[in-house]
A = this chain, B = another copy of it.
Amino acid sequence: MSNPFFKNQGPLKISKIVETLNLKINSYKDKKIYDIKDLVSSTNNDITFLHSKKYNNAAKKTKASVCITTEVLKTALPEKCLALIVENVLVSTSKITSIFYPDSINDNYDETAKDIKDTDFKNKVSFGKNVLIGNNVSIGNNCKIGHNTLIERNVVLGDNCSIGSNNIIRNTLVKNNVRILDNCVIGKHGFGFFPTKKTNLRYPHIGIVLIEDNCEIGCGATIDRGSMSNTIIGKNTYLDNQIHIAHNVKIGENTIIAGQVGVAGSSIIGDNVKIGGQAGISGHLKIGNNVEIAGGSGVIKDIPDNTKVMGYPAKNIRDFLRDNR
């Protein structure tokens, strides 16, 4: 997991971690843990988590020193990995991630933002009225930023980007020749939390939004940043107005998405895909390359390459039209 933007507050002693989880252990208390990562990318300086036997194979090979898991699942872990036994692995993982990355939980307005006229960008960028720039922003050559747009903390804009008016962008890496029209909110945290009775527990979103070269993002888009991975819009992909892209979604190259489409969390969409207006795509799906999804469709399962689908639930377009004469 690349993490260019959120500051890691580690290392933390294991004693601090177990205390946060209301656990007791007697050994390794003073060992320092530097980051929280998934099973595969962890090193022996990291803590990881295992919440489903689906990941047993990855668990067997993990290099992590510590793993948040359950009594039942812990048998899959290597002997040298210290298992921290909890009731709810994801809630506990969320708590520990929050200590490493406290900035990634809530998206309050950016208090570091200041008028672009009071920054060095004033000589480099073409900008409208009331443009604000937060900390840790970099902007390439020949960019335009429209009126009332907020470039909040943790944004990189490449060269030749045209950002319209009334946009809010944070935690986002924009490559070259990208056009973002008006009224978008890009890079806020996703709709991810653990429901609890009195006050839901938000989990951290330490991913970013990555918008590749030559993309166009229409008016009123919301593109949420990833939780543990990134949200990605591939090269030369065009989004029409009022589109919602949830956290961790990955969209390929040369894809065209019409107005009011919504893509739920963690779905992956291929290259050269065409999605008609108001179509919806459920979470955690894989949509292949060269797929065409008719407007208004509701996609609730994976779609192989080179397929045309329609309907709710979406099925082969010929079948749908035959069944709905």
Contact = CB atoms under 8 A, between A and B. Distances in A.
A188 B238 contact: no
Interface stretch (A21-29, A60-68, A190-198): A190-198
A212 to B, nearest CB: 12
Contacts of A234: none
Number of copies: 3
A295 B280 contact: yes
How many A residues touch the partner, as a band?
Answer: 35 or more
A220 B282 CA distance: 20
A207 interface: no
A57 interface: no
A109 B185 contact: no
Nearest to A190: B240
Which of A144, A177, A277 neighbours the largest number of chain B CB atoms within 10 Å of its CB?
A: A277
Interface in A143-179: 144-148, 150, 162-166, 168, 177, 179
A252 interface: no
Specify the main secondary structure of chain A where it touches its partner.
loop
Given A148-B130, A236-B200, A238-B191, A185 B278 contact: no
A106 B160 CA distance: 13
A123 interface: no
B236 A197 contact: yes
A48 interface: no
Given A191-B218, A222-B219, A198 B241 contact: no
A3 to B, nearest CB: 23
A312 interface: yes
A179 B219 contact: no
Contact of A241 (B179, B244, B298): B244
Interface of A: 106-111, 113, 115, 126, 128-130, 132, 144-148, 150, 162-166, 168, 177, 179, 181-183, 185, 188, 191, 193, 195, 197-200, 214, 216, 218-220, 222, 224, 235-236, 238, 240-242, 244, 246, 254, 256, 258-260, 262, 264, 276-278, 280, 282, 295-296, 298, 300, 311-313, 324
5 closest Cβ pairs, A-B complex: A109-B146, A296-B298, A222-B241, A191-B240, A278-B280
